[in-house]
Structure 1
Amino acid sequence: MKIAIISVSNKGQELAGNIKEKLDDDSTIIKVDLYHKNVKKYFPLLFSEYDAIIAIMASGILIRSIASLVESKTTDPAVLNIDDNGNFVISTLSGHLGGANKLTNKIAQLIGATPVITTSTDVNNKLGIDVIAKDLFLSLDNTREILFFNKAILEGKELSLTVNPNKNFKYLFDYLTNNTLEINVSINFSSKIENDEIHVELDEHSLILKERKIVVGIGCRRGKECEKIHHGLTESIKDLNMDISRVNLLASAEIKKDEKGILELSEKLNIPVKFVELDKLKLFQSEDVSKSEFVKSKFGIWGVCEPSALIMAGYDSKLIYKKTSYDGVTISIAIGN
């Protein structure tokens, strides 16, 4: 998640710096940029460039500033509102698909504030269909149906979920079993359903949840053992609350194509691995990729794990886990559309 924090007062600016310092240590936060004053100038930029905006200001200023920019729950960034004293963190926009509700709880915990969340499913202890999509890294084919299904969930109606019997959906079953929020579902199987899809139906209404491509980028020192690489991968997906079965591909640079530990891990997890050509890595550009002078001097590329993950996740992919080191192993995770 890429986050912009914008403040208007000196006290708010100080709080913004404090929040940034705490978030910079979080591997699931790709970057945090600070903005101060000039809200009319900055908000249009922030809406198009960031996944989330934390506005430290009066709610009236925030609402007037973003009113003309709001378009859709599928495209609007998450927007949080915090008072200058850091007493309350309010989830203001894109609570579910945008991740504002989860980010609200995270920020409130970091600064010792009270989280304020008003979405109906959350306050009624229900699991929204869009929350399922967000938590399990799935896309929704028909977002206009979200309101219908969430209303049905609030009313306690049973949703029908249909999946292909030949695909391992353990991650879905475990999620529904272990989630503390309430939802009433039946699970059905049909070989007519695509392997990467979950069909949701009720009263002639339907939508499709589709798995987004998840690629784990790996870098490591020469001769690193499989167990060490596996540990880094395990810790990374744990940070994302992700099941290992959601990982579609492992990726690294072609200079690692004979790395025994990576090849053994691919076989152990039954997840394919692909190695990106050096020419592609040299040409790849992204502001989100961290740069290593050591890797550049040795191989002519700025990095291994982040660009490899982004390239293999496909066009317009993005990082959801930035480069993180685990005893000689670097892990990053990218998601495709």
Structure 2
Amino acid sequence: MTDCGIWLVRPESEALALTLQQQLSGDLYRPWLDTATTQKQQFAAAYRKHKQWIMIAASGIAVRFLDGLAQDKHSDPAVVVLDEAGRYAVSLLAGHEGGANRLAYRVANAIGAVPVITTATEALKPLVVGIGCRKGVTAGQIAAAVHQALGGRQLNKVREIATIDLKANEPGLVEFCEQHDLPLRVLASATVVARPWVTKASDWVQQNVGLPGVCEPCALIASTRGKLIVPKMALNGVAVAVVEDAL
């Protein structure tokens, strides 16, 4: 049994659940196969068997299933709710302490959904940092470029790092995010192509990535009400842009 359970409410979610299982691993639950008990009863019996849950269901169903089960944010399993269309991954329970916020990012990155985080610890951080980088850059190179772009702003004010899918597994970028406990938001290249918001297009990026730019559009797309406060700054193979939430 893995740390993560994937709960399907309907057979129609099977393909989405299998994609998640392939990307993230996890045990699939198909409660409709057991006609002796209700889904709510089955979920209650399985609730403590995993440290994390991904529920492919409406949020209302998830809330009803969780009724009476949650006890303490330090011990409750993390619960992320994903709609059946795979559009939004909502951190519902044990967001910060239990890891549901990070799980929401992992789910979102795996299928191209939008992570929804509502805990004040993360939601009140006003900055999103967009990053584009050349292959093989180190975590140290990324850190130097990010600190240059932030200027006097503190890294603990950054809500998330945003990049494109081509860089989702770039070792230096992943290491930097892990070192500084920053969630990595991965955007599909097709999404960035549709909104190529750049102050100055890059011939190198266009030739090698097929986009006019990476860091600026990624940061702006990730922050729906943000304003570009630091246009693209490049340092040693790393390009960084900073967006701040508008009041």
Structure 2 length as normaliser, TM-score? 0.49
* Greater Cα radius of gyration, structure 1 or 2: 1
Structure 1 length as normaliser, TM-score? 0.37
Bigger relative contact order, structure 1 or 2 (CA pairs below 8 A, ≥6 apart):
2
